[in-house]
């Protein structure tokens, strides 16, 4: 039977979540799939063969940059070209010349290299078992929904593209964040999910460390991952000195565009591997 490649349909979220759980070997994709399905700037492509979803990939097109994520093939059907075909289909609608970003796992990297992606730096996943202490800085306060426009504007200046939809979705799923303002100007912000810290963007390392400390002290207590660009050496060094262990690192890659849109040296923690 010839595989069909198409956009995911409403009602297929659970099947896609199960496919990604099988491909990646863990079952935490439910919120990600629902978030992407609800974002107007995201498109999820699926490959259907023998009556079931066998591969998937999503692109969030921010306008100035696009992000490729949730690339996965049913483990029973890998090595048949499904991964290549679904990635090509997901990238096809992205206008020529637009910079495309991704974070490659060891199994995905060879495919992306042949599609013209080149290394930028690493995205380092660490896991804190509890609060990561650091001195507080002036102007730090809990974030409210009303802060989202100011946060999204600051984020756009550092990330290099407008992530309003994704940041709003993240905050509404779990409204826990910290904002730092000095002289009325945003100098940093961060979001916390039950099992994750990020994004964290800040003007300087003291602010970034204070944000991570405050976010890591929020409920619920327990292990939380934080993904730090290797370009942010100060945050990696800070976490190592506090004995926060490294779990793994992915290859942050890009294709197209004249330059990387983000100031990765001011991104102390990424939002996710599908939002950047």
Ligand X SMILES: CC(C)(COP(=O)(O)OP(=O)(O)OC[C@H]1O[C@@H](n2cnc3c(N)ncnc32)[C@H](O)[C@@H]1OP(=O)(O)O)[C@@H](O)C(=O)NCCC(=O)NCCS
Residues near ligand X, by CB under 6 A: 23-24, 55, 71-73, 78-84, 104-105, 107-108, 110-111, 114
The residue number with the shortest CB distance to ligand X is 83
Q: Tell me the C-alpha to C-alpha distance, in Å, between residue 141 and each of 100, 238, 267.
A: 34, 22, 19
Return the residue matching tokens 């029973």: 76
C-beta closer to ligand X: residue 79 or 220: 79
C-beta closer to ligand X: residue 90 or 158: 90
The per-type count for the chain, helices as H runs and strands as E runs, is 8, 13
C-beta closer to ligand X: residue 104 or 269: 104
**Least spacing, CB of residue 5 vs ligand X, in Å:** 12
**Least spacing, CB of residue 157 vs ligand X, in Å:** 27
Which of the 8 DSSP states describes residue 232?
-
Q: Which residues contact 230 (CB under 8 A, 6 or more apart)?
A: 121, 122, 123, 124, 236, 249
**Least spacing, CB of residue 111 vs ligand X, in Å:** 4
**Least spacing, CB of residue 39 vs ligand X, in Å:** 19
Which pair of tokens denotes residue 168?
Answer: 């709003």
C-beta closer to ligand X: residue 37 or 109: 109
**Least spacing, CB of residue 102 vs ligand X, in Å:** 6
Return the residue matching tokens 């009325």: 184
C-beta closer to ligand X: residue 62 or 273: 273
Which pair of tokens denotes residue 125?
Answer: 């996943």
């Amino acid at each position: 039977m010839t595989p069909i490649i198409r956009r995911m349909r409403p009602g297929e979220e659970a099947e896609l979540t199960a496919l990604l759980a099988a491909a990646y070997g863990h079952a935490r994709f439910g919120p990600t799939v629902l978030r992407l399905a609800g974002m107007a700037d995201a498109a999820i492509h699926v490959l259907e063969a023998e009556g079931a979803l066998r591969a998937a990939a999503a692109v969030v097109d921010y306008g100035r940059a696009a992000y490729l994520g949730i690339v996965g093939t049913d483990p029973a059907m890998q090595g048949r070209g499904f991964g290549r075909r679904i990635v090509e289909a997901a990238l096809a609608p992205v206008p020529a010349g637009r910079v495309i970003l991704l974070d490659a796992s060891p199994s995905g990297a060879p495919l992306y290299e042949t599609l013209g992606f080149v290394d930028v730096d690493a995205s380092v996943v660490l896991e804190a078992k509890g609060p990561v202490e650091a001195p507080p800085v002036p102007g730090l306060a809990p974030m409210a929904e009303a802060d989202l426009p100011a946060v999204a504007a600051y984020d756009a200046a550092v990330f290099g593209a407008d992530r309003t939809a994704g940041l709003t979705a993240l905050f509404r799923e779990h409204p826990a964040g910290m904002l730092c303002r000095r002289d009325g100007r945003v100098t940093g912000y961060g979001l916390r999910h039950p099992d994750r810290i990020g994004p964290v963007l800040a003007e300087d390392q003291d602010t970034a460390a204070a944000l991570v400390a405050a976010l890591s002290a929020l409920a619920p207590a327990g292990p939380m991952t934080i993904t730090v660009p290797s370009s942010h050496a100060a945050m990696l060094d800070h976490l190592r000195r506090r004995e926060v262990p490294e779990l793994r690192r992915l290859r942050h890659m890009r294709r197209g565009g004249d330059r990387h849109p983000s100031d990765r040296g001011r991104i102390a923690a990424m939002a996710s591997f599908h939002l950047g």
